[in-house]
């Protein structure tokens, strides 16, 4: 289904009136403001020094979360390398609007961690189930409950390894009631700080998710001068993307972006550039934004996403932050032009321009003059475009893309990727702008077969 009839997201958000669109855009843009972040960091550090407090990092560990299993393998080394105090918490899955599609999320997380572990020098048991047995989860929580911070960091790696490999876990004399109370307390602290995921590190007002974002926290701590070994590399640096000397013309890459997705915005052009450099067969398959497809979102999640996308954009050297959200009619209007643009070989160029307007230049696509400007910027005729603007020809194509991504691949977030070929190799299906390096690495491997 293209858009569900009974979408749980309120209609005023799916098609926000002008003033609400303006308010939401300003609010989200603030979280992507570098000057605001710099001032906030300076104020927090000034307060810490004035009160004589140490550098405290809170770690939220969810025993049945695959990303927490990866973090368990590096968190002790992280504590040793920096002059910090780590306060560990046990938590349970949040669920609800912050973590929709719980069953699909569990399957995806297990698959994703299995794919990325070796690239970070870590491991994940190949025969591990999607989730450990409930009894073992309980035992793991009991074994970790009464440990002080130092012992927690020392033992969490081994306990997590036993959990995911269905080994034995000594829970000691900790009762189920005591363990449940610890999990409830940790979950309450996570909610108090306005977050929702496991494997999270929280330092001085900012969040860092698992091994994928650890290097950002390392970078911040090094700037503060608390790294004991500054000459050493990061514990989990982002893997590089190498596009030199590879001919992947026998492979196919299916790319599923969304016009309203901040993560799609910062990786869109890089994906197109990568596909051209590799000479791979690119299949461009835009989908509707998640909330328009009935996937809920919370304000806390949106705030974290915009903050996270800003630092990702800075890391990649991509402009981002001057945002006017495109949810609702602007998406439908812009998508109505894509089949026509595709027939002229301009669909990726047009969507790239529209995304840049929406997320980097602050040109609202609810204004038809900005859609016209984008059309003309890529060399298309506006009078011809008007014959297609607002039509329905785009709907079967977008719906087909969504069915392929959601039903066929088991993914619901964007951007998503499917790499196919050569014959005999299973399709690689991944989700997230921070998985383009994995797609690139797999392209390089398969192109050499």
CB 294 within 8 A of CB 8: yes
pLDDT reading at 101 higher than 90 = no
Q: Which two tokens stand for residue 226?
A: 């608390």
Q: Which two tokens stand for residue 160?
A: 């997590």
CA 409 to chain CA mean position, Å? 17
Please give the full DSSP string across 138-189, using - where no structure is assigned: HHHHHHHHT--HHHHHHHHHHHHHHHHTT-----TT--HHHHHHHHHHHHHH
Mean pLDDT over the full length of the chain: 96
pLDDT reading at 31 higher than 90 = no
Q: How much is the pTM?
A: 0.96
CA of 430: how far to CAs of 49, 252, 378, 382, in Å? Answer: 43, 14, 30, 36
3-state secondary structure 303-342: HHHHHHHHHHHHHHCCCCCCCCCCCCHHHHHHHCCHHHHH
pLDDT at 396: 97
Instruction: Give the fold, CATH level 3, of 252-447.
Output: Glutaredoxin (3.40.30)
pLDDT at 100: 79
CA 435 to chain CA mean position, Å? 9
CA of 449: how far to CAs of 54, 109, 145, 424, in Å? Answer: 52, 28, 48, 11
Reduced DSSP (H G I as helix, E B as strand, rest coil) percent helix, strand, coil of the chain, to 5: 55, 10, 40
Q: Which helix (H) or strand (E) holds 377?
A: helix 368-377
Residue 448: how many other CB atoms lie within 10 Å: 9
Q: Can you give the residue ranges of every domain in the chain? A: 54-223, 252-447
Top-level class of domain 54-223: alpha beta
pLDDT reading at 97 higher than 80 = no
pLDDT reading at 96 higher than 80 = no
Please give the full DSSP string across 79-114, using - where no structure is assigned: HHHBS-EEEEEE-----TTTS-SHHHHHHHHHHHHH
CA of 226: how far to CAs of 72, 219, 229, in Å? Answer: 22, 10, 9
pLDDT at 298: 84
60 forms bridges with which residues in the sheet? 89, 200
pLDDT at 258: 98
Residue 44 CB burial class (10 angstroms; 0-12, 13-18, ≥19)? middle
Q: Which helix (H) or strand (E) holds 36?
A: helix 34-51
CA distance 355 to 323: 10
pLDDT, tens digit (0-9, with 9 covering 90-100), for 282-306: 999 999 999 999 998 888 888 899 9
pLDDT, tens digit (0-9, with 9 covering 90-100), for 105-160: 999 999 999 999 999 999 999 999 999 999 999 999 999 999 999 999 999 999 99
CB 147 within 8 A of CB 155: yes
pLDDT, tens digit (0-9, with 9 covering 90-100), for 354-403: 999 999 999 999 999 999 999 999 999 999 999 999 999 999 999 999 99
Instruction: Give the percent of the chain with pLDDT over 90.
Output: 90
pLDDT at 264: 98
54-223 and 252-447 share one fold: yes
CA distance 370 to 376: 10
pLDDT, tens digit (0-9, with 9 covering 90-100), for 207-242: 999 999 999 999 999 999 999 999 999 999 999 998
């Amino acid at each position: 289904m293209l858009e569900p009839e009974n979408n749980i997201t309120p209609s005023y958000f799916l098609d926000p009136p002008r003033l609400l669109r303006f308010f939401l855009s300003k609010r989200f843009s603030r979280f992507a403001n570098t000057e605001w972040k710099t001032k906030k960091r300076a104020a927090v550090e000034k307060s810490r020094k004035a009160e004589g407090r140490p550098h405290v990092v809170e770690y939220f560990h969810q025993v049945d979360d695959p990303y927490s299993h990866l973090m368990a393998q590096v968190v002790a080394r992280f504590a040793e390398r920096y002059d910090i105090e780590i306060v560990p918490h046990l938590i349970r899955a949040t669920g609800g609007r912050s973590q929709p599609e719980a069953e699909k999320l569990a399957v995806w997380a297990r698959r994703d961690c299995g794919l990325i572990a070796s690239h970070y020098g870590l491991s994940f048991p190949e025969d591990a189930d999607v989730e450990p047995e409930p009894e073992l989860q309980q035992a793991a929580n009991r074994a970790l409950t009464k440990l002080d911070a130092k012992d927690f960091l020392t033992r969490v790696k081994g306990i997590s390894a036993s959990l995911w490999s269905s080994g034995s876990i000594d829970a000691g004399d900790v009762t189920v009631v005591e363990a449940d109370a610890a999990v409830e307390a940790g979950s309450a602290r996570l909610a108090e700080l306005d977050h929702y995921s496991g494997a999270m590190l929280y330092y001085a007002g900012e969040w860092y998710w698992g091994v994928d974002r650890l290097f950002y926290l390392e970078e911040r701590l090094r700037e503060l001068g608390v790294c004991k070994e500054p000459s050493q590399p990061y514990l989990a640096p982002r893997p590089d993307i190498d596009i030199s000397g590879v001919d992947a013309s026998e492979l196919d890459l299916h790319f599923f972006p969304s016009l309203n997705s901040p993560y799609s915005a910062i990786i869109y052009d890089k994906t197109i550039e990568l596909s051209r450099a590799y000479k791979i067969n690119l299949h461009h398959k835009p989908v509707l934004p998640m909330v328009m497809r009935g996937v809920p979102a919370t304000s806390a999640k949106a705030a974290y996403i915009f903050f996270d996308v800003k630092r990702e954009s800075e890391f990649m050297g991509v402009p981002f932050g001057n945002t006017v959200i495109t949810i609702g009619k602007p998406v439908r209007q812009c998508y109505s032009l894509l089949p026509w643009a595709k027939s002229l070989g301009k669909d990726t160029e047009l969507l790239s321009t529209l995304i840049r307007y929406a997320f980097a230049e602050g040109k609202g696509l609810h204004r038809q003059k900005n859609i016209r400007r984008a059309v003309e910027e890529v060399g298309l005729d506006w009078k011809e475009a008007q014959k297609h603007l607002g039509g329905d020809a785009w709907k079967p194509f977008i719906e087909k893309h969504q069915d392929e991504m959601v039903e066929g691949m088991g993914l619901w977030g964007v951007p998503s990727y499917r790499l196919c070929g050569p014959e005999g190799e299973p399709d690689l299906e991944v989700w997230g702008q921070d998985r383009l390096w994995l797609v690139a690495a797999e392209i390089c491997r398969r192109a050499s077969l």
